[in-house]
């Protein structure tokens, strides 16, 4: 089975949405829950295979804290790692030898990309976009707009209720 066949079989088996852009080049959409979708490139060349997924744009603030989070997270990822491009947008990338890409391995790599991009998304937004989230919340409140898709960030807006020892919640 060719690598192109392996990629197609893996994507079909996982019932993923994808477009074949040429020999060995696929644009895949991974469905998520926090990050509604993660777009991912799979590129098989003569001597290597690459996977690249956009995670989020350059943070507005707290860059050092965001990059510290990404570097620590890299130690726990399988087969891919976080990186940034020249403008500072955040990606997950991996490079592999052709002989390592099987259906099982590709499925594991796609699962890791989805787990990381989707699982880390809200944390990255909380660290790198807290000010923007607060401004968006205030703007929506002032206009009577829905806050439904901002509920995961409610704790950034409303101060925590102080805990009093000896209360009923102890």
Residue ranges of the domains in the chain?
3-129
CATH fold of 3-129 reads Yope Regulator; Chain: A, (3.30.1460)
Task: At 5, give phi and psi (nearest 5°).
Answer: -65, -40
* pLDDT greater at residue 22 or residue 110: 110
Side-chain-side CA neighbours of 170 within 13 Å: the count stands at 6
Label residue 160 by pLDDT band (50, 70, 90).
low
The pLDDT value recorded for residue 165 is 52
How many angstroms separate the CA atoms of 158 and 55, rounded? 27
Residue 61's alpha-carbon distances to 65, 90, 138, 145, in angstroms, are 9, 14, 18, 25
């Amino acid at each position: 089975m060719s690598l192109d066949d392996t990629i197609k079989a893996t994507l079909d088996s996982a019932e993923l949405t994808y477009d074949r852009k040429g020999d060995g080049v696929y644009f895949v959409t991974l469905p998520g829950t926090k990050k509604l979708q993660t777009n991912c490139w799979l590129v098989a060349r003569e001597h290597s295979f690459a996977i690249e997924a956009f995670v989020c744009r350059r943070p507005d603030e707290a860059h050092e804290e965001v990059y510290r989070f990404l570097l620590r997270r890299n130690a726990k990822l399988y087969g891919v790692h976080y990186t940034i491009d020249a403008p500072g947008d955040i990606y997950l990338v991996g490079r592999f030898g052709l002989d390592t890409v099987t259906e099982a391995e590709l499925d594991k790599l796609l699962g890791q990309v989805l787990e990381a991009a989707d699982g880390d998304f809200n944390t990255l937004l909380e660290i790198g976009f807290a000010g923007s989230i607060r401004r968006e919340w205030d703007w929506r409140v002032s206009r009577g707009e829905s806050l439904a898709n901002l509920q995961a960030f409610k704790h950034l807006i409303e101060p925590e209720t102080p805990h009093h020892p000896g209360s009923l919640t102890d």
